[in-house]
Amino acid sequence: MAPTAAAAEQQQLLPQARKALGLAAHDASGHLTPIRITRRNTGDDDVSIKVLYCGICHSDLHTIKNEWRNAIYPVVAGHEIAGVVTEVGKNVARFKAGDNVGVGCMVNTCRSCESCEEGSENYCSRIVFTYNSVDRDGTVTYGGYSELVVVSERFVVRFPDGLPLDRGAPLLCAGVTVYAPMKQHGLSEPGKHVGVIGLGGLGHVAVKFAKAFGMKVTVISTSPEKRQEAVERLGADAFVVSTNASDMKSVMGTMHGIINTACASTSMHPYFALLKPKGKMILVGLPEKPLQVSAFALVGGGKTLAGSCMGSITDTQEMMDFAAKHGVAADVELVRADEVNTAMERLAKGDVRYRFVIDIGNTLKTD
Ligand SMILES: NC(=O)C1=CN([C@@H]2O[C@H](COP(=O)(O)OP(=O)(O)OC[C@H]3O[C@@H](n4cnc5c(N)ncnc54)[C@H](OP(=O)(O)O)[C@@H]3O)[C@@H](O)[C@H]2O)C=CC1
Ligand SMILES: O=C/C=C/c1ccc(O)c(O)c1
Ligand SMILES: [Zn+2]
Ligand SMILES: [Zn+2]
């Protein structure tokens, strides 16, 4: 397939570049088709990575459908990237060809602001996301729905032994996005009770991390059909349906904190009632539409509403190592590159258990 005009223009800006096959959305239909993109040659601080697996995050779907109104088409999504190092630049000390590595949601930051200096580079105001972002050289970033990525060493993490690449890939976004705020907000302490709103890609790994921390965990879901697997397969202690009044009453005022992963907007009022006094609601879901929050739901019990965005690179490596040590990995449905549009349609309907992962290494090929 011929490259689009925008991709061709980008290619001309990069005299030293390689071609790579990717999957791109070209408009808000979100339909993905093969595209030829360019990747820079391996710079002195870069790691070139052959992509083997890439998870499909709901953020990918929000972006390709332009639900956040910020799409820069063509969009090559994907920020749950697992692969093998093929080449490193001369300054790269931590990785060598043949290493199994991962790349998550960011590929560049300013490296000098307060957030960067304190190791919270995920809050850098000049953050460059792995895709749909303008990099410091002016090019638009393309993500892991492609056969090759070239990433500065400091945004690459090591895949620990024992963590499979296909089931580990989703941890690079979904995993760290729930792990980091759980640690930051004291929701990783044994014996505490945490609620997880939304049993999807993020939610199911939140349940697994909570159990690995030794916590009590309750899933708060809109999908009654997930009850059995939440308890029996994922290890949740309880499961309540958010529209079922008696279910919700049974856990009222019991939770130290809630991780809210819902991808669609809803009234937050019933959820705040589940928190203990001074409990914390941590928002990680990014619905297209604004949330409804009543002041009375927060003020009365001295409750906190906080947001959290991904995690730092240090958080990400710590989370990957913790996952390997405690046997935490995503439940995945592996799909071929030519099945990606069907996977997106199913994700939009909540029909996935619990993360689609594209088998890029074996199936992204020219005809
Ligand atoms: N803050 C950050 O850094 C990050 C944010 N995100 C965002 O987090 C959200 C979740 O991502 P992901 O887990 O991949 O998405 P999934 O689609 O895998 O899961 C989302 C879950 O939300 C629940 N849900 C759907 N509709 C509603 C609704 N109307 N009300 C309440 N719950 C609902 C469903 O769970 P159930 O059936 O159990 O109700 C669904 O499975 C997305 O908005 C994504 O963009 C993702 C990564 C990082
Ligand atoms: O899936 C991860 C997305 C994270 C994200 C956070 C904040 C923001 O403005 C984005 O565009 C993406
Ligand atoms: Zn994501
Ligand atoms: Zn910065």
Residue 316 lies in a domain: no
C-alpha span between 333 and 322 (Å, rounded): 23
Pocket test for ligand 1, best of 60, 63, 261 (most atoms within 8 A of CB): 261
Determine the pLDDT at residue 341.
98
Q: Is the dihedral of CA 203, 208, 213, 219 positive or negative?
A: positive
Q: Which two tokens stand for residue 266?
A: 């809803």
309 CB within 6 A, ligand 2 = yes
For 256-282, what is the mean pLDDT? 95
Q: Let me know whether 233 and 344 are in one domain.
A: no
Residue 53 lies in a domain: yes
C-alpha span between 234 and 204 (Å, rounded): 7
Determine the pLDDT at residue 265.
83
Q: Identify the DSSP state of 140.
A: B
For 215, residues 6+ apart whose C-beta sits below 8 A from its C-beta are 187, 188, 189, 190, 191, 192, 193, 194
C-alpha span between 315 and 318 (Å, rounded): 5
Q: Let me know whether 63 and 88 are in one domain.
A: yes
Distance in Å from the first CA to the final CA of the chain: 10
Determine the pLDDT at residue 17.
84
C-alpha span between 62 and 207 (Å, rounded): 23
Largest distance between two CA atoms of the chain: 64
- Beta strand 128-129 with 32-40: parallel, antiparallel or unpaired? unpaired
Q: Which atom of ligand 2 is nearest to the CA of 57?
A: 1
H helices of 185-244, in order, are 201-213, 227-232
Mean pLDDT, the chain, integer: 95
Cα 78 to ligand 4 centre (Å): 22
Instruction: Tell me how long the chain is.
Output: 367
Question: Which residue has its alpha carbon closest to ligand 1 atom 42?
Answer: 263
pLDDT at 10 over 80: no
Q: Let me know whether 164 and 15 are in one domain.
A: yes
Determine the pLDDT at residue 1.
34
Residue 314 lies in a domain: no
DSSP string, 4-71: PHHHHHHHHT-SSEEEEEEEEE-STT--EEEEEEEEE---TTEEEEEEEEEE--HHHHHHHTTTTS--
Q: Let me know whether 300 and 351 are in one domain.
A: no
Q: Let me know whether 101 and 156 are in one domain.
A: yes
Q: Let me know whether 48 and 69 are in one domain.
A: yes
Render pLDDT for 157-182 as a digit per residue (tens, 0 to 9).
Answer: 999 999 999 999 999 999 999 999 99
pLDDT at 359 over 60: yes
Cα 125 to ligand 4 centre (Å): 6
Q: Let me know whether 57 and 163 are in one domain.
A: yes
Residue 67 lies in a domain: yes
In CATH, what number is assigned to the domain containing residue 196? 3.40.50.720
Least confident of 115-129, 156-170, 353-367: 353-367
Render pLDDT for 304-352 as a digit per residue (tens, 0 to 9).
Answer: 999 999 999 999 999 999 999 999 999 999 999 999 999 999 999 999 9
Cα 197 to ligand 1 centre (Å): 8
Residue 318 lies in a domain: no
Which residues form the domain of 247?
175-307
How many domains in the chain? 2
Contact 76, 24 (CB under 8 A): yes
For 307, residues 6+ apart whose C-beta sits below 8 A from its C-beta are 282, 283, 284
For 205, residues 6+ apart whose C-beta sits below 8 A from its C-beta are 170, 171, 174, 175, 178, 179, 328, 330, 354
Residue 232 lies in a domain: yes
Q: Let me know whether 169 and 180 are in one domain.
A: no
Pick from 50, 18, 33, 102: which is nearest to 321 by CA? 102
Determine the pLDDT at residue 44.
98
Label residue 3 by pLDDT band (50, 70, 90). very low
Percent of the chain predicted with pLDDT > 70: 95
Determine the pLDDT at residue 338.
98
Residue 312 lies in a domain: no
Q: What pTM value is reported for the model?
A: 0.96
Determine the pLDDT at residue 2.
39
Q: Let me know whether 47 and 158 are in one domain.
A: yes
Pick from 198, 195, 206: which is nearest to 234 by CA? 206
The CA-CA-CA angle for residues 178, 180, 186, to 5°, reads 100
Q: Which two tokens stand for residue 18?
A: 């390689």
pLDDT at 4 over 70: no
Label residue 5 by pLDDT band (50, 70, 90). low
Q: Let me know whether 133 and 161 are in one domain.
A: yes
In CATH, what number is assigned to the domain containing residue 68? 3.90.180.10
Q: Let me know whether 9 and 66 are in one domain.
A: yes
Which one-letter amino acid corresponds to residue 140?
Answer: V
Q: Let me know whether 275 and 340 are in one domain.
A: no
Residue 106 lies in a domain: yes
Contact 163, 323 (CB under 8 A): yes
Question: Which residue has its alpha carbon closest to ligand 1 atom 28?
Answer: 264
C-alpha span between 204 and 217 (Å, rounded): 11
Q: Which atom of ligand 2 is nearest to the CA of 79?
A: 1
CB atoms within 10 A of CB 96: 11
Render pLDDT for 35-79 as a digit per residue (tens, 0 to 9).
Answer: 999 999 999 999 999 999 999 999 999 999 999 999 999 999 999
